[in-house]
Amino acid sequence: MPLILAAGDPVEIVIDVARRLSESLGLAGVTWHRRYHKPFREADACIKTALQRYGIGVKSHPGYLLTEPWTVQTGSGTPFKVFTPYSKTAQEQLHLSPPEVFPVPKLRGIYLPDDVFADAEYVLDVEAFMGAPEPSWATDTLTKHCTPGEPHAHERFSCFLDSLLSGQSYKELNDVPSRAATSGLSPHLRFGEISPAYLWRETARFADAHPAAAADAWAFLRQLLWRDFAWHRLYYLPEMAEKNVRSQFNEFPWAWSSKADPGASKSAFAHMDMEPDEDARQHLDELAAWQKGETGIPLVDAGMRELWATGTMHNRVRMVVGSWLTKNLGIHWRHGEEWFWDTLVDADYASNPFNWQWVAGCGDDAAPYFRIFNPLLQVEKFDPDGLYVNRWVPERHTPLYPEPMVDVKESRKTALAAYNDIRNVAKG
């Protein structure tokens, strides 16, 4: 059976492929992993109904998460809004009934007559596609840092468990960006190259077999529940992807331009159909400087350059760059979310907006106070030897490095004042 590459409306294509295979080979049925974002659920429901109409059997399975969103509920049967009680309930359930790990089915070779897809316009030429030149962003550093695929996902997972055995503590070091102490599995999870159920089973077995590393192993599994929680929230609140969860933040004076072109350079922002006023122009310049890692704040610049070069960024640094953008520069979290979407190799429909709303303070599980990370103190705490920052910003102590675009203390005061205004509006 050949690999079929197709481009077009996925609903129409899946139905047409299934119909053609059913007619030519007598297809037994169609099966897939369930998806949880509203537009995808709706698409999958359409596909299911149409296939059933053609008399083709359909079966969907869990697989993308440890727990399906509707299976973890509060005592009164409602969804959770706060992570700690959610993770307590989810962990209890997972201990009682661990997620099932299904063996990979053995695929039989199938002969497909040449004419089955002969007139299907959506089918792409696999050879031409594979032989096409790489897009410019895929060359150079990104390909060195990122190896997609199932074998690499499994290799990475075993290296991670080995690191716990060799005394590298996940609990102690997962916040230190210069140390490769985290699993690096997020892109593999994102693209279904490794199953969370498998990670749960193998890590729990590992913890039983190696009591000295058990605390680290369980700390890692608890992190996985943040991923489930982000999906739990998106399932019940699909608008989380674009709108402030806490509506009082609709009044927050964030700079937002629907015309900002993510990834554009400073000069490209001044394109023809845009006539930003002075304030908007300043924010667009600041946004471009943030994207390129030229803000004059070393930890922020290091993170943004790491992102561009490798397609990833350490979690601690994601929080710091997010806080700098939304609080000190006063730019809307959606600009940051869009940039991450375009550049992260683990960019995820739920985790990305969920975490951006958390950092910006407008998510429903954000701190009850308005947390503003001080990037100068964060670097002292998490990169005291400067190993991480020096790697990405080698010119930081030279005249080539710019002054900060805004003053750390003054911009913090402005953000706090804006927050107090919306808090008072909400109370009044």
Ligand X SMILES: Cc1cc2nc3c(=O)[nH]c(=O)nc-3n(C[C@H](O)[C@H](O)[C@H](O)COP(=O)(O)OP(=O)(O)OC[C@H]3O[C@@H](n4cnc5c(N)ncnc54)[C@H](O)[C@@H]3O)c2cc1C
Site residues for ligand X per CB under 6 A: 174, 182-186, 189-190, 220, 223-224, 226-227, 230, 315, 318-319, 322, 340, 344, 346-348, 351-352, 355-356, 359
In angstroms, give the least distance from the CB of 409 to ligand X. 23
Report the nearest approach of ligand X to the CB of residue 120 (Å): 34
CB nearer ligand X, residue 174 or residue 378 = 174
C-beta closer to ligand X: residue 161 or 405: 161
CB closer to ligand X, 30 vs 302 = 302
Find the shortest distance in angstroms from Cβ 271 to ligand X. 27
The smaller minimum CB distance to ligand X, of residues 294 and 365, is found at 365
Q: How far is the CB of 185 from ligand X (least distance, A)?
A: 4
Contact residues for 213 (Cβ-Cβ < 8 A; gap 6+): 164, 165, 206, 207
How many Cβ atoms from other residues are within 10 Å of residue 202's Cβ?
Answer: 16
Residue 184 or residue 298: which is nearer to ligand X going by CB?
A: 184
Cα(216)–Cα(210) distance, integer angstroms: 10
Q: Which one, 343 or 411, has the nearer CB to ligand X?
A: 343
Considering only CA atoms, which of 342, 341, 371, 343 is closest in space to residue 354?
341
**CA–CA dist 124, 47 (Å, integer):** 21
Angle between helical axes of 315-323 and 298-310 (0-180°, round to 10): 120
Q: How far is the CB of 194 from ligand X (least distance, A)?
A: 10
Tell me the backbone φ, ψ of residue 76, rounded to 5 degrees.
Answer: -95, 15
Tell me how far apart the alpha carbons of residues 287 and 270 are, in angstroms, rounded to a whole number: 13
Give Cβ neighbours of residue 392 (< 8 Å, ≥ 6 apart).
293, 301, 302, 303, 305, 306, 309
In the complex, least distance from residue 346 CB atom to ligand X, rounded to whole angstroms: 4
Shortest distance in whole angstroms from residue 222 CB to ligand X: 9
Q: CB nearer to ligand X: give 47 or 316.
A: 316
Phi, psi at residue 390, to the nearest 5°?
-65, -30
Cβ neighbours around 181 below 10 Å, total: 21
Those residues whose C-beta lies under 8 Å from the C-beta of residue 62, and which sit 6 or more positions away, are 33, 34, 68, 99
